[in-house]
Structure 1
Amino acid sequence: MIAVIIPAHNEAEYLPRCLEAVLIAAGAAETAGHRVEIVVVLDRCNDASASIAARYPVSVLEVDVRNVGQARRAGVALMLERGADWLACTDADSCVPAQWLLCQLGFAADVVCGTVHIDQWQAVQDSALRERYLSRYQNREDHRHIHGANLGICARAYLRAGGFQPLALNEDVQLIHALQASGARIVWTARNSVSTSSRLDSRARGGFGDYLRSLAGAN
């Protein structure tokens, strides 16, 4: 069984597009004979995220931790209890491609680290920021980017490495380092790039939005 885990903190603006994209990817995997379950982990949401998630054929898990590592860990734990063999992680402000899950499985690896891209920049973000970002990003095979928005992990390898830790930042980086230390076979690919938001108001301090903000202020 493939499990898709999506943490969300007040993501009403982006969640519908995220879930619609994930359901398309799930449908492609199910057509190929796989079982897919999706869980949205609502972490201390006080917007319409819960009601939006309820409109889709997904499971909802509510936590009150305001910690993305803990939220991901809780979602994974639920899916492991349901028999998940493969764990696919993305973010609520991101849209996965239609072949996302099949691409991950096709590598027959322990871990698949994918890239992200920005389809639509905000109007206030000038061309200098865009060029600065693109010049520094490794959009290629064998890159070394780690994104919780585009990550696939074999359940056995995940458990062997100790899983996501309850970190408010870089929980994905910590897990990949633990997987590397455990000897997991990791594929670094740009073939299944996930579209993500260019917003600067990060849900987590030090996350992707803060990285873009730092580029915006760079000379």
Structure 2
Amino acid sequence: MIAVIIPAHNEARRLGHCLKAVRVTAARAEAAGLEVEVLVVLDRCTDASARIARRHGVHTLALEAGNVGIARRLGAAWMIERGAQWLAFTDADSRVPGHWLLSQLQWHADAVCGTVHIERWQPWQGVALRQLYHSRYQATEGHRHIHGANLGVCAKAYAKVGGFQPLPAHEDVQLVLALEAIGAQIVWTARHSVATSSRRDSRARQGFGDYLRGLEGQIL
């Protein structure tokens, strides 16, 4: 079984769009004869995120961690217990492409690190910021970006390194470094880029939103 795991903290505005995109990629994988289950990990949600997830017919797991590393870790453990052999991670403010799951699986690797792109910039994020961002982002094969919004890992390799650590940020980087340390086969591809948000009010400190905010500071 393939598991899609999505941590969410008060993501009612964006979660529905995320799950619609996940439904498309899951349907394509199922048409190829694969079993797919989707889990939204509701971490300290006080908005309508749970209701939206239920409306889309996916599994939910509620917790009060306030920590993305813990959310991903517990979500992965829950799905592995259900028999997941491949763990695909994205974020609630992101939208995966239709071929996302099949593209991850075609490599037969231990892990697949994909790229992200910003499809809709905020009005105040001007040309200078966009140019600086693109000048520093390598959206090519063999890139070295690590995003929790676009990450797939074999459950066996994941378990071998102890999974995500309970970190408030960079839990995805820690996992990939641990996989590298044991000589896991990791694919770095831009062939299934995930659309993500350019918002400033990011849910995890030191994440993608803070990175963009740092770039803004360099051009002011």
In 2, distance between residues paired with 1:193 and 1:56? 23
In 1, distance between residues paired with 2:202 and 2:56? 25
Identity, % of aligned positions: 66
In 2, distance between residues paired with 1:51 and 1:63? 15
In 2, distance between residues paired with 1:48 and 1:58? 15
Q: Does 1:168 align with 2:168?
A: yes
TM-score, with length taken from structure 1: 0.99
State the Cα distance separating 1:204 from its structure 2 match: 1.0
Partner residue, 2:116: 116
Partner residue, 1:97: 97
List aligned pairs for 1:1-219, cutoff 5 A: 1-219=1-219
TM-score, with length taken from structure 2: 0.99
Matching residue's letter, 1:184: A
Alignment RMSD: 0.5
Give the count of matched residue pairs: 219
Matched residue SS, 1:3: strand
Deviation string for 1:88-116 (max 9, x for gaps)?
00000000000000000001111000000
Deviation string for 1:151-207 (max 9, x for gaps)?
000000000011001000000000001011111100000000000000011111111
Matching residue's letter, 1:180: E
State the Cα distance separating 1:57 from its structure 2 match: 1.7
Gaps of 5+ in 1: none
Runs of 4+ in 1 over 3 A off after TM superposition: none
State the Cα distance separating 1:3 from its structure 2 match: 0.2
